[in-house]
Every structure is written in C-alpha cells, then in structure tokens.
Structure 1
Amino acid sequence: MDRRSFLTKAGAGAAAAATLAAPAVAQSNPQIRWRLTSSFPNSLDTIFGGATTLSRFLSEATDGNFDLQVFAAGELVPGLQAADAVMEGTVEACHTVSYYYWGKDPAWAVPAAVPFSLNARGINAWHYYGGGVDLANEFFAKQGLYALPGGNTGVQMGGWFRNEINTVADLQGLKMRVGGFAGSILERLGVVPQQIAGGDIYSALETGTIDAAEWVGPYDDEKLGFVQVAPYYYYPGWWEGGPTVHFMFNLEQYEALPANYKALLHTAARATDADMLQKYDFLNPTAIRNLVAAGAQLRPYSAEILDACLQTSNEVYAELDASNPEFKKLWDSIKAFRDLHYTYQQVAEYNYDTYMMQKLNAGQL
C-alpha cells in the first residue's frame, strides 16, 4: 500500500470513528432543561445560593447539557408553594424546607428539623449513613417527590425580643413571629404565633405589632436590621438544631433521568449540602461580632424555659406517635441515632471544644 492510499484510508477510518462516537456522547449527556423554584429570595445569598450552586455544578459537569434554571421565591410561584408546584408538575424541582408543609402532615417536618432533634452534623450523619435519605423518600414518594439534602444552616438562633424573657410566665401572651412546628409547641406555653413574611418583620417589631421574631442566624439576621428594634438576641433555636434544606424533584422526572445524571445529581446535591453549612460556619462568627458591636445583647434561654419546651415537645411527639405512623417511623429512627450521637459527642468533641473555648476566653490562644 502506498503512502497516499494509506493516509486516505486512515483519514476515512478516523472520520467514521468520529461519526460513531458522537451519538454515544450525546446519549450519555442528553440535553435536559429543568426549572427550579426556590422558597427563598435571591437577597439571601446563603440559602438561595444553594440552588444556584447546584445549577452550576450540574452545568459544569455536563458541558451545559443539564441546565437547571433557578427562580427566586415569587418569580414563578410563592415561596411556600414550591413543593406543591413540583408535585403538580408545574416545575421539575424546588429548593425548600420540608417543615414548611407540616400542615399537610407533620411527617413532612421530620427530615428537615423538629424541636430537640439533631444538630447539623448529627442530621447529616443520619441522612447519609443512618438511612435518613431513604426513609424520607419512602414518605416523599407518596407525594410524587424525590428529595435530597441540599443545605444546612447549623443550629439557629432563638430569636430577637423587645424585652428580656426569663421564665415560662414571661411567654404568656407574647406575640412572636414563629411558624410551623415550633409555633405549635410555643402556643401551648402561651405564645401567640404570628405568620409574617421576612420583609415585614422589621416594621412589625418596630411598631410593637409583635414582641419577638425568629429568623435564621447572625449572618442572615444582620441584613434585616433587627438589632435596631429588638436588642435581646436569644439562643439556641431549639426548634432548629440542624435544619436541612431539601432539593425536591418531581418523581416522574427524576426517574426518567439517565443513570449517570441521577448519580451526578446525588453528588452535586451532596456537595451543595456541605457547601452551605461551610459558608454559614465561616460567615456567622464575623456577623455575631458585628451584631454585638451594634448593640445586640446575647441571652441564653433559661433552663426553665428550655425544660418546659422540651417537655411540651415530648407530649406532642407522644400524641403524634400514637396517631401518625409515617411520623413515628421517621422520628423513631432519628431518636435512636440521637441517643448515640449525643452520647459520643460528650467524649472527645465536647471536651476538646470546651477546653479551647475556656482558653480563648482566658486570652491564652
């Protein structure tokens, strides 16, 4: 075979190979266009940012073929109707907190956060290694959804108060912006829960329409200026020890994904989950210093108040366990791991952290 003939045939072979390879690539990375509606305004770069982070991860890994278009709360549907839009097939996905929908069934709240549950590290361990993702999806599948953890704020603060509260008696008649499961617990202790949108909380506190409000934590709270109208900043937010934000997908749309896209979605969501908590852990320390400098007076909830809230929560759980098998299955699983988690945390973690905090406060670090 002469050189010209060889090159001609080799070139033809390469072209044929390229022709054969192209469909294989196209099949492995098909073009998919999904819309995701968030429960959060885009001004909250931390929580809202989780959805844009997932979108970026998916796009970068597929050369733009898996395109997740993100919409802030209210752009397509109201923030508290995000999961409903996914169930109805209006959009393919949402980024929300499942306890927003606890009124449909209290079981919705358990995979996100309920009072006196796990902290962020514990709830992530339960989700990923304690069977939490699978247990949650047994429940969510009945709603036409598939869900993956997609962020965590860490233990939240307990709210801003116009006046100090020290005893359970101080809760009587207290008008507090607090919703969901926590509101139902506090209501039994005399609090009057108020449902107020984030943008309206400041004016309600300023005018005395409400006496207190919970939001998230230092970084997000600083943006809304609560310190100017309600200086007492309480902790901890016992109703959100480690609240999980979820990505929820229409179950039919999720199941129709190619296997490699499903795997990518799981990986990207898990990376986003870790990213949000890391961001809060980095930003909150500076924000709490800023708030104290601006006049925030940090106050721990008294043992009397915490004990009353725990007792009331346990009474509610006993009622739900007796009447709601879906709730009981999820809550029993978390409680079993909660006992193990906090037993272990008393050993190395607690003692190391306590020692370091003591030395920091003594100026020895």
Structure 2
Amino acid sequence: MKRRAFLGKAGLGAVAGTAAIAAPAMAQQNPKISWKMASTYGPNLPPLFGSAEVFCKMIEEASGGQFTIRLYPGGEVVPGFGVLDAVGNRTVDCGQSASYYYYGKDPTLCFDTAVPFGLNARQMNAWMDQGDGLKLMREVFAPRHIVNFPMGNTGTQMGGWYRKEIKSVADLKGLKMRTAGFAGEVLSRVGVIPQQISPGDIYPSLEKGALDAVEFVGPLDDEKLSLQRVAKYYYYPGWWEGSAQVSLYVNEKAYAELPKQYQSLIALASRYAGQQLLTDYDAHNANALRRLVASGAELRAFPVEVLDACYDAAQEVYAEFNAKYPQFKKVYDNYMGFRDQTIPWFRLAEGSYDSYLNRALNRAKQQ
C-alpha cells in the first residue's frame, strides 16, 4: 500500500515536471503573437459574447501565453455588423458573428448560419463536419479573404415578440418587425416590413413603437433584453432558424502566418467554445422561459395557416435565388439534400421519443 502511494506521488511529480519542461519548450518553439478580435455581440448577451471569451482564454492558456487574442465587443472597434469586412481587410485579425447578418452582401452567406425551414443544430453540425458544409462555405468566404470556423449554435429559436396576436396571415400585413437574413426576405412576401437592427437597439426600438414585433434568439437572451416588458405575445417556432450557427472569421493572411500548432489550436478552441455555447442555451432556456411566462409573457403557437404561407413563400424565394445565383444554388442543393435525407431519421427516433416523453410527463402530473 505504501509502495502504491509512493508510486502515485512519484507519478504526479513526473507529470508536474513534464509540464514545467513543456511550457518553456513551447515558448521556444512558437512565436509570441497578439491578435485583435471583434464581436458582433457584447457582455449584455452572456452566452454569445461569453463563448468568444472562452475561445480567447483557451487560446492563451493552451499556448502558454504565447498566443493572445484581445476581444472587443460590438461597436467598440468596428460596428456590430461590420465584423465581416473588418476581418476581410484585416482591421482585426479575427471576429465572431453570424453570417446571415451579411445577407445583403451575398445571400449564400446565410447557409453558414440559418435559412428558413432548414437544419436543426444537430443536423447543422453534421452537415458542417460530415457533409460538405464546411468545404462549401469556405468556398463562399474565400473571395472575402476569410477562413471560417463554426463556433457554436443557439439551437432552434423562438418566433419572436408581438404587440398583437397573430391569428392569420392577414395579421402580418404591414407589421414592422426586426429580423435578420433570409427571414426578412420571406416575411416580406407575406406582408411584413422587415427591419435589421443591431442587438443593442432592439429594446428601445420596440419600446418607442418603431417596431411592432421583434425576433432575436430565445428565452435566455430575450429575457436579458427584457423584451417581455414591451411586447406581450411570444410566438413559436422560429421557422426561419431551426438552428443558428455562430462563426469565427479569421483573416486568411493572418491565418497563413500562424505556425501549424496555432492553426490547430484555433480549430480546437473554436469547437470547444462552440460546444459551450450550445450547452449554455440547452441548459438555461427552459428556466428562462418559465420566468418570462411568470412575468406576463403569453406563449402562442403560429397557426398552421401562417406556417404554410411562410413555407410556400420560402420556396418562391429559393427558386428565384437558385435561378439568379449559381453558387447559391450549389450550396442550396447540397444543404437541402442533406436536410431531406436526415429529417426522416430525426422524426422517427428523436421526434417520437420527445413526443411520447412529453405526453408521459403530462399524464403523470394529472394523476
């Protein structure tokens, strides 16, 4: 027993000694590099901005302090929606954003985040990792001098906050609504007037009546913005965001200048930070929703009539864009082909399991 204890202590000592040797060795082998990183988000959105903080912290710690990245919130160095261009022209070395914010530059970028009636978070991860997603999106980003990395997902989002009930398609006519990316194009076909507004301006715009409705993310972030104070009705599902992937943008020249060890570290750290982001939402959205309802939010499901009208409008937009943009069609065909292949399995396995378990829990409560 004493021998085992001795060996345990000796083993720990050996590991500590190895670590002590490894850190200086890494410092000798790898150069000291300092980067700047801009985010679209800020500290008022802890899951999103926090995942960028996790990424920077991991890079610094894993490199023994040799590779550091200073993170700037949206608006501090560049505007929140200026991250894509800032990384491309190397105003900053890297950035965190959601690519569908840049729909106006190229609608194909939306596939990197979310498109209406698209993939859920698990399916998106699978398309990026095991399908052609990452390869195709890197082709889209290449002309902008950016190397992109997936860095998390919000999961399926809510359908937003509305001042009035949405009982039919007619109730959407003339509605001034904050939304982003492809969703605005589709919603405009059913009468909505889409507005793209940065996260920091959402609450005052809704409060002052400049907006009639707002969609942002889901319960956790919506609660932080206190949207329930200025709009009563909370709708679901967010059909335009079955998931929403957040991305890390790295300037291609900055990336090429890195040692291979640092390039690998970026891939690992972005994946780790991304996993933290999704688990943060999955762990905390449920309780946030309960608090929102307790504070007066009224949950409503979109009528099937409304969902069908929006689905049909989305197909019209896709057809138009496929005819107009060859690269859009290339990505669309691959993305939707992957969706159509995986949906039956998810419905068979996870959909049936979730539906039954929800029914069983409700039955137990009534007994």
Fold shared by both chains (TM-score > 0.5): yes
Residue 196 of structure 1, CA deviation: 3.1
1:283 aligned to 2:284?
yes
Matches within 5 A, 1:263-274: 263-274=264-275
Matches within 5 A, 1:341-356: 341-356=342-357
1:109 aligned to 2:99?
no
Q: Please name the residue that 2:184 is paired with.
A: 183
The share of aligned pairs that are identical, in percent, is: 48
1:237 aligned to 2:238?
yes
Rounded to whole Å, the distance in 1 between the matches of 2:198 and 2:92 is 23
Larger Rg, first or second structure (1 or 2): 1
Deviation readout 1:110-129 (Å, 9 max, x if unpaired):
11111111011110110111
Q: Please name the residue that 1:140 is paired with.
A: 141
Rounded to whole Å, the distance in 1 between the matches of 2:28 and 2:147 is 24
Deviating more after overlay: 73-82 vs 188-197: 188-197
Q: If the length of structure 1 is used for normalisation, what is the TM-score? A: 0.91
Letter of the structure 2 residue corresponding to residue 94 of structure 1: G
Q: Please name the residue that 1:32 is paired with.
A: 33
Residue 22 of structure 1, CA deviation: 9.8
Rounded to whole Å, the distance in 2 between the matches of 1:31 and 1:175 is 50
Deviation readout 1:90-118 (Å, 9 max, x if unpaired):
11000001111111111111111111110
**8 A contact 1:162–1:212 mirrored in 2:** yes
Q: Please name the residue that 1:5 is paired with.
A: none
Q: Please name the residue that 2:306 is paired with.
A: 305
Deviation readout 1:270-301 (Å, 9 max, x if unpaired):
11111100000011011000001011110111
Q: Please name the residue that 2:331 is paired with.
A: 330
Letter of the structure 1 residue corresponding to residue 274 of structure 2: D
Q: Please name the residue that 1:129 is paired with.
A: 130
**8 A contact 1:28–1:258 mirrored in 2:** no
Residue 29 of structure 1, CA deviation: 2.7
Rounded to whole Å, the distance in 1 between the matches of 2:270 and 2:340 is 27
Residue 23 of structure 1, CA deviation: 9.0
Rounded to whole Å, the distance in 1 between the matches of 2:209 and 2:362 is 36
Deviation readout 1:118-150 (Å, 9 max, x if unpaired):
011110110111121121111111110000001
Rounded to whole Å, the distance in 1 between the matches of 2:71 and 2:187 is 35
Q: Please name the residue that 1:153 is paired with.
A: 154
**8 A contact 2:81–2:198 mirrored in 1:** no
**8 A contact 1:206–1:229 mirrored in 2:** yes
Give SS of 1:233's match: strand
Rounded to whole Å, the distance in 1 between the matches of 2:99 and 2:244 is 10
Aligned CA-pair RMSD: 1.7
Residue 169 of structure 1, CA deviation: 0.9
Residue 351 of structure 1, CA deviation: 1.4
Letter of the structure 2 residue corresponding to residue 289 of structure 1: R
Q: Please name the residue that 1:85 is paired with.
A: 86
Q: If the length of structure 2 is used for normalisation, what is the TM-score? A: 0.90
Rounded to whole Å, the distance in 1 between the matches of 2:61 and 2:329 is 40
Structure 1 gap ranges (5+):
1-20
Residues 22, 54 of structure 1: CA spacing in aligned structure 2 closer, same or farther, 3 A cutoff?
closer
Q: Please name the residue that 1:223 is paired with.
A: 224
Rounded to whole Å, the distance in 1 between the matches of 2:262 and 2:354 is 40
Letter of the structure 2 residue corresponding to residue 242 of structure 1: S
Deviating more after overlay: 312-321 vs 191-200: 191-200
Residue 199 of structure 1, CA deviation: 3.4
Structure 2 gap ranges (5+):
1-21
**8 A contact 2:96–2:248 mirrored in 1:** yes
Give SS of 2:78's match: coil
Deviating more after overlay: 135-144 vs 284-293: 135-144
**8 A contact 1:28–1:260 mirrored in 2:** no
Residue 236 of structure 1, CA deviation: 1.0
Deviation readout 1:169-219 (Å, 9 max, x if unpaired):
111111112232111111111111123333333333334332111111101
Give SS of 1:41's match: coil
Deviating more after overlay: 133-142 vs 90-99: 133-142
Rounded to whole Å, the distance in 2 between the matches of 1:80 and 1:22 is 38
Aligned residues: 345
